[in-house]
Structure 1
C-alpha cells in the first residue's frame, strides 16, 4: 500500500479520547438491574450502540431489553446518572501526547463526536486544557448533521470546517465499527483502536476496512502517515512541509 500523505486528523471522542464508554456501560447496567431483572448489558449489544446518536442508542436499548419506559424516559434517567459520572472521565493511553504533538506542529485537528454539544461539554469539563487544542469540535446535534454514524455526516462536516482538504489526506481515529464505516463512507483513511471486547467479537484479523488497527493510541506512529515524528522525550520540532 502506498503510504498516504495525511494533512488533517479527525478524532471520535467516546472510548477513543476519553474513557466514557465505561460510564455508558455502568449507567446502562444500573438501569437494567432496576428495570430488566438484572439482564446483562453485553458487548454484542453495546457494539451496536457505539458511534450512534443518543436517541438511536436509547431506542435500541429500550427495544432490546423491553424496558417499561419510552425512549425519552430512558434518556432522562440516564442523563441524571451520567451528570455525576461523566466529569470524572480521563483521557485514554497515548491521547494527550498525540494531540499536543499534532497541535504543536500545526496539524489541523478536529473532534467529530455523536454526543450532543451539552454532553460534550459535560464529558470534557475536567479536560478543557486538552480539548482547547482542537481547531474545531463537531457534535451530533450541530446544524448539518442529519444522520449519525455509520453515515459520514459528522466527518464530512468536520472536513468542511477544516477547510475542505482532500478526503484522502484526512485521517480519522475511531474505536467503534460504526465509526470506521462512517470514515470509509467519507472516503477517508481510518485508524481503528477498538476496545478488546469489541475486537473479540470480530473474526481474527478483521479490520472492517481500517487502514490500521491498534491496541491503544500510544501505539500510533505519525511517520506512517508522513506526519511529524515524535522526539525521543516527546514531540520534536519538525516542519510538516518538510515531510510532504
Structure 2
C-alpha cells in the first residue's frame, strides 16, 4: 500500500484509537441506563459514536427514553467519569506509533469530541506521551468548534492549528458517519480496521468504491511504525468504538 509511505502530518482520534476508553463508556452509560431499567444497546451506541458530549446525552435520552434532561444525564456522566476515566489504558501499538512519528519529526495532533475535563481525566497516567502532540482539539469545550461530528469542522480546525496549515485531503477513518461525510465531501480515503466487532448489517456504511479507498485489516497500530515516512499527505486516524 504505497499511500502509507507519504505522511507530512497526522491527526489522531482519541477514543478507541489511542486510548482504550470504549468499554469504559459502555460501562458508564450502561450503569446510568440500568438505574432506570433501560439498556445501552449497540444501535444506540452507534448513534452516539463520535458526537460531542451535549449531543451524546441528547441522543441517549431520546433513544432510550430516560426520565431526565440531557443536562441531568451529563451531570451523572461527569460524576462517573471522574471515577472511571483515570483508569484509561493505551491501545496496543499507540505509544510506539506516537513516539515513532515524533522521533521522525512528523507533526501530530488529536481531534476528539470529548471535553477538556474528560480528556484530562483520560490522560491521568499518560501526560508525558501526550506532551508530544502539537495540539489537541477538544470539541465539547472548544469555542471554535461549532458543529460536532459528522461535520468535518473539527478536523479542519485541527489541521489549521499546525503552523503550516495542511489540508486534510487523505483520511484514515472507521466511523461510518465520518466515512459517509468524506465520501460526499470529496477526499479519497483509507479505512483502518483495528479489530473491533461490528455487526454485518452496518458493513455497507464503511464501504466505498475501490477507486476511492483501500482497507487495512489489523489488530493494532504497530505496523504503522514501519510504514510512515515524511512525504506529502495528511492523515486522520480513526476507528469504530
Q: Normalising by structure 2, what TM-score?
A: 0.81
Matched-pair contact (CA < 8 Å) for 1:6–1:171: no
2:221 aligned with 1:218, yes or no?
A: yes
Number of the residue aligned with 1:19:
20
Report the equivalent of 1:57: 56
Distance 2:182 2:130 in 1: 21
Whether 1:70 and 2:73 are equivalent positions in the alignment is no
Cross-structure match for 2:30: 29
- Unaligned 5+ residue runs, structure 2? 232-241
Who is 2:124 aligned against? 125
* CA shift digits 1:26-54 (9 cap, x unpaired): 0111111111x1x3312121111111111
In structure 2, distance between residues paired with 1:110 and 1:138:
8
Deviations 1:82-112 (A, max 9, x none): 1100010111111111110000001111000
| CA apart distance, 1:212 | 3.1
**What's 2:10 paired with?**
9
Measure how far apart 1:123 and its partner are. 1.0
TM-score of the two chains, using structure 1 as the length reference: 0.81
User: Contact (CA 8 Å) 2:96, 2:222: kept in 1 or not?
Assistant: no
Query: What are the Cα deviations for residues 55-101 of structure 1, in whole angstroms up to 9, with x where unaligned?
Result: 11111111111111000000001110111000101111111111100
- Unaligned 5+ runs, structure 1: 229-239
Q: Deviations over 1:183-239 (max 9, x none)?
A: 654836454345623354533794357543433333543565xx23xxxxxxxxxxx
* Displacement after TM superposition at 1:118 (Å): 1.6
What's the CA shift string for 1:151-209, capped at 9, x where partnerless?
011100111012211333x554x453234445654836454345623354533794357
What is the aligned length? 224
Report deviation, 1:136. Answer: 1.1
Rate the CA distance shift 1:99–1:182 in 2: closer, same or farther, 3 A.
farther
Contact 1:167 1:188 in 2 (8 A): no
